[in-house]
A and B are shown apart, each in its own frame.
Chain A
Amino acid sequence: QKEVEQDPGPLSVPEGAIVSLNCTYSNSAFQYFMWYRQYSRKGPELLMYTYSSGNKEDGRFTAQVDKSSKYISLFIRDSQPSDSATYLCAMTSGGSNYKLTFGKGTLLTVNP
Chain B
Amino acid sequence: DAGVIQSPRHEVTEMGQEVTLRCKPISGHNSLFWYRQTMMRGLELLIYFNNNVPIDDSGMPEDRFSAKMPNASFSTLKIQPSEPRDSAVYFCASSLILAGGPRETQYFGPGTRLLVL
Residues of A within 8 A of B (CB): 32, 41-46, 49, 51, 88, 92, 94, 98-100, 102-105
Residues of B near any A CB (own CB < 8 A): 4, 31, 41-45, 48, 50, 55-56, 91, 93, 95, 97, 103, 105-111
Interface contact A49-B48, CB-CB below 8 Å: no
Number of CB contacts from chain A to chain B under 8 A: 48
Q: Are A103 and B42 in contact (CB under 8 A)?
A: yes
Please name all residues of chain A whose beta carbon is closer than 8 Å to the beta carbon of B109 when the two chains form the complex.
43
Are A99 and B45 closer than 8 Å at their CB atoms? yes
Task: Knowing A43-B4, A43-B110 are in contact, say whether A49-B43 is a contact too (CB < 8 A).
Answer: no
Q: Closest A-chain residue to B6, C-beta based?
A: A43
Q: Return 14 A-B CB contacts under 8 Å, by A number.
A: A43-B4, A43-B110, A43-B111, A46-B105, A46-B106, A46-B107, A49-B103, A88-B43, A92-B103, A98-B31, A98-B55, A98-B97, A103-B42, A104-B42
Write the chain B residue with the least CB distance to A32.
B103
